[in-house]
Copies of this chain bind each other. A is one copy, B any other.
């Protein structure tokens, strides 16, 4: 039973860490957002891919949700001493990944091949595919001008209203090798509890992926990243508001209504089920909070059971 998971960063990584406990990890293919990939000091950083790899390898810094556990920031401090602006945190262990990746990109290897090597080096059993090997940059049009992804997320802490999300390069990007095949041959397709606009939406901005999803024989299920009217993490709630959606699991259902067969929402939003079902979607409510390994595994099992029952 092959399972494809569209994935962003922290929320997706937590969901996946439950999923690899609930089902055979060798049958999981992660399709990762790459729109927040950024270049710092010439080093090519893939935050979402790294967060997923570090999390599944048990190396993630649990406190921050990004970076490696017990990391130090010696190189960053020295770059600061050299006069560099060091608002983007890259630890010494983390830098090894970025140096490794940048070196191989410089040798002409595609991101998908490098990601496969990193996945293997970390001993992971699942497959992780970038949505595209081409450069696709998520950018934000704001009243203060256009911002790069990490400028919005890290430097500004998403405290600026968004007029428009721009997927720079998306129009000429191609799905990475294996992405369309994985979607077409999947038995289940899941949207992790990630940002509908700048994680899942970015993946769908790669020409061919949305159509592959619509054509897929497999049922598609999404886990709502909005619980009790709030985003668990990140700017999902802010973006929904900026784009005129209700900030709730119902709003998520509206965003996803043409794409998914099933929406999994949190138990505290149970009252929203009829309204979501009235949109023509299947929906279940369960515990989506993922605050322990057990709850992560249980959520994954609940999602699998519900999507297999469709």
A→B interface (CB under 8 Å):
41-43, 68, 71-72, 74-79, 81-84, 92-93, 95-97, 99-100, 102-103, 106-107, 118, 121
B42 touches A103 (CB 8 A): yes
Subset of 23 A-B contacts with CB under 8 Å? A42-B99, A42-B102, A42-B103, A43-B99, A43-B103, A72-B74, A74-B92, A75-B92, A75-B93, A75-B95, A75-B99, A76-B96, A78-B93, A78-B96, A79-B96, A79-B99, A81-B96, A81-B121, A82-B97, A82-B100, A83-B121, A84-B100, A95-B99
Residue of B with least CB distance to A102:
B42
What is the predominant secondary structure among interface residues of chain A facing chain B?
Answer: helix
Given known pairs A95-B95, A121-B83, the reply for A41 and B100 (CB within 8 Å) is: yes
| Number of copies of chain A assembled together | 2
A100 touches B72 (CB 8 A): no
Which of B77, B79, B83, B100 is within 8 Å of A79, CB to CB?
B100
Name the B residues within 8 Å of A79 (CB-CB): 96, 99-100
A82 touches B118 (CB 8 A): yes
Residue of B with least CB distance to A73:
B92
Docked pose: A135 CA to B107 CA in angstroms: 18
Name the B residues within 8 Å of A83 (CB-CB): 121
